[in-house]
Structure 1
Amino acid sequence: MRRLLMATAALGLLASPAFAHCDSMDGPVVQDAQRALEAQDVTPVLKWVTAEDEDEIRSAFDMTLEVREETDAAKTVADRYFFETLIRVHRASEGAGFTGLKPAGSVEPAIAAADQALEDGNVEPLAEELASAIRHGVEERFAVAYEKRQTAEDSVEQGREYVEAYVQFTHFAEQADHLADAGASH
């Protein structure tokens, strides 16, 4: 099951913003924002926005610092405002919408593994897991399509079952190929 989730996540990266993790409380954008707020230095978050958007982030950062010292509630609200502003601006620069700040723990396993690879400086576990997951996905879909192909001409219903399996198999292969050729984006 983990392999199938990893394959789905890996292939979904190509076409879907649903797997973005920059909008979660435990994602790298919020982690850098928390560090920036604690140090009272906006620099760690500026890498997440374009030069054109830097003034907006600096302004939001300054307003957050002004308010967050008033009360614990003000700090919570101000920090959340800054996180959401930063993520919204970051996502817009990638052509993606912002649908709200996600809770910690909402990062997909493949993305968490990619982050861990960067942290450890070792991509091998991630590469092996993804290659294995994709191989498993291809083999599983092939087996079903091949089996259904054997009886596809026996009846219209069996033909339709084959076509459904064929579409699943070929689309999976196509997405894997696109991912390998084009890379992934938000």
Structure 2
Amino acid sequence: MRRFILGWRPNVARWAILLVLLTALTAGPALAHCDSLDGPVVTAARSALESGDLTPVLKWVLPEHESGVREAFSRSRSVRQQGPEARELADRWFFETVVRLHRAGEGFPYTGLQPQGAPIEPVILAADSALASGSGDELVHHLSDAVAEGIRERFRAALAAKEHSEDSVEAGRHYVAAYVELTHYVEALDSLVAGHGNVHGAETDDSHGHR
């Protein structure tokens, strides 16, 4: 039985909850880490222009985008020899090209380069810190605590609403809304943990799961 709760299609509702979940976990400005001028993608691109070695940049793009990066690299290296202003413009264009193709590989649109020092999501900083330290414990705690609180909060709301769900139609609808919030939240979590979720683009198959 397919479900249409409050005008929401099941698959749309599920992915809306997942987006809310990811936003809650990051708990910070929604700026892309790899879009910033001091992010890892631009840092690699800047180093490549100075050294002439493009290899460190290529890992940031998909194989099908490699030729575009190579062409941009060659042109930028040539143009930047024409003076300071040309160098600045060529560098910027190369940075934008690499970031745009990197974002395309992630399934996201390119929205421009963020300035140096732009806010980065706390969860991304935690991941970078974990990789730098060689221990993922703090990252696990960071996410586990956020997920646990998200489940508890939605469970408490659904349980409280359930107690009065038969009092009136309005109360019943309030319970259904809380129930949908809880079940879609845990369903999105389960899908993500199982590897079925794709944070870089919503899946379209709605042939399984809660209906």
> Shorter-chain TM-score category?
0.7 to 0.9
Gaps of 5+ in 2: 1-19, 201-211
Does the alignment pair 1:154 with 2:167?
Answer: yes
Higher helix fraction (1 or 2): 1
The one of 79, 84, 96 aligned to 2:91: 79
Structure 1 equivalent of residue 182 of structure 2: 169
Deviation string, structure 1 residues 47-77 (Cα, Å, up to 9, x no partner): 1223443332122112212223444443332
Which TM-score applies when normalising by structure 1?
A: 0.80
Say yes or no: does 1:110 pair with 2:116.
no
In 1, Cα distance between the equivalents of 2:139 and 2:21? 12
Moved over 6 A (4+): none
Provide the identity percentage. 49
Deviation, 1:42, is: 1.2
The structure whose RCO (Cα within 8 Å, separation 6+) is larger is 1
| Equivalent runs, 1:79-158 vs 2, <5 Å | 79-104=91-116, 105-158=118-171
Answer yes or no: is the 8 Å Cα contact 1:11–1:175 preserved in 2. no
Q: What letter corresponds to residue 92 of structure 1 in structure 2? A: A
How far 1:86 sits from its partner (Å)? 1.1
Structure-1 separation of matches of 2:183 and 2:36: 33
Q: Measure the CA separation in 1 of the matches of 2:160 and 2:48.
A: 57
Residue range with higher mean Cα deviation, 80-89 or 96-105: 96-105
Aligned counterpart in structure 1 of residue 56 of structure 2, from 40, 44, 59: 44
- Measure the CA separation in 1 of the matches of 2:193 and 2:49: 38
Preserved CA contact (<8 Å) 1:24 1:103: yes
Between the aligned partners of 1:119 and 1:34, the Cα distance in structure 2 is 21
With normalisation by structure 2, the TM-score equals 0.72
Question: How far is the alpha carbon of 1:150 from its aligned partner?
Answer: 0.5
Conservation of the 8 A alpha-carbon contact between 2:31 and 2:119: no
For residues 132 and 122 of structure 1, do their structure 2 counterparts lie closer, same or farther at Cα, with a shift above 3 Å needed? Answer: same
Cα distance per residue 1:137-183 (max 9 Å; x no partner): 00011111111111111111111111111111111111111111016
Could you tell me whether the CA contact under 8 Å between 1:10 and 1:130 is conserved in 2?
Answer: no
Report the RMSD for the aligned CA atoms in angstroms. 2.6
Distance in 2 between the 1:95 and 1:155 partners?
A: 45
The structural deviation recorded for 1:22 is: 2.7
